[in-house]
């Protein structure tokens, strides 16, 4: 018997000078990037948390703690690769990922297709199984003031019972 398991994820990081902006594994030309121990890719972090939740595991910090220097400046793609490995170890498959990036700037639409490609490749699914949307916060709160970027995600997995 196959069970459908669903998990949700959320992540947020501050915008800072002197760091590249990486979202969904894609480097986006912008004057600021996100602060964090790794490359601070909020989209991949939210997707990882959603997958870990669907697997009944801990959050991304339990697998990749920011106290471990091994993960300093690490590309978040390696975190997603680990999540994908855990799915495979349980003989599962990704049904789909749905996610939203919340940012005032920069405009995300030119990069979403590339992000979908990176995430689909790592998870071993077609691009049609990876949904990425972008929205603003209508100039409200820390996102609206361009102090940070947030992302949320839902992962649906097929796992054997």
Strand order in the sheet with 93-102: 32-34, 2-17, 148-160, 93-102, 130-135
Q: For domain 2-160, give the CATH superfamily.
A: 2-C-methyl-D-erythritol 2,4-cyclodiphosphate synthase (3.30.1330.50)
Tell me the residue length of the chain.
Answer: 161
Cα 26 → chain centroid: 11
What is the value of pTM for the model shown? 0.96
What does the pLDDT read at residue 67? 85
Closest among 118, 133, 117, 30 to 79, alpha carbons compared: 118
How confident is the model over 132-153, as a mean pLDDT? 98
Q: How far is the C-alpha of 10 from the C-alpha of 13, rounded, in Å?
A: 11
- Strands 32-34 and 2-17 come out as antiparallel
Q: How far is the C-alpha of 34 from the C-alpha of 13, rounded, in Å?
A: 6
Q: Give the chain's mean pLDDT.
A: 96
Beta bridge partners of 134: 101
What does the pLDDT read at residue 72? 81
- 34 three-state secondary structure: strand
How confident is the model over 105-120, as a mean pLDDT? 98
Per-residue pLDDT tens for 38-94?
999 999 999 999 999 999 999 998 888 888 788 788 899 999 999 999 999 999 999
CB atoms within 10 A of CB 74: 17
Q: How far is the C-alpha of 54 from the C-alpha of 39, rounded, in Å?
A: 24
What does the pLDDT read at residue 132? 98
| Residue extents of the structural domains in the chain | 2-160
Per-residue pLDDT tens for 13-31?
999 999 999 999 999 999 9
């Amino acid at each position: 018997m196959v069970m459908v398991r669903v998990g949700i994820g959320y992540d947020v990081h501050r915008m800072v000078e002197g760091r590249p902006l990486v979202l969904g594994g894609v480097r986006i030309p912008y004057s600021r990037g996100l602060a964090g121990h790794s490359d601070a890719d909020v989209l991949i972090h939210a997707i990882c948390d959603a997958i870990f939740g669907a697997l009944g595991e801990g959050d991304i910090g339990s697998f990749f703690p920011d106290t471990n220097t091994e993960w300093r400046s690490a590309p978040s793609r390696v975190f997603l690769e680990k999540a994908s490995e855990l799915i495979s170890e349980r003989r599962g498959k990704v049904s789909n990922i749905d996610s939203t990036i919340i940012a005032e700037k920069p405009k995300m639409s030119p990069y979403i297709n590339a992000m979908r490609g990176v995430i689909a490749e790592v998870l071993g699914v077609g691009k049609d199984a990876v949904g990425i949307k972008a929205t603003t916060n209508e100039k409200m709160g820390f996102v609206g003031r361009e102090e940070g970027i947030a992302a949320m995600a839902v992962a649906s997995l097929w796992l054997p019972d």
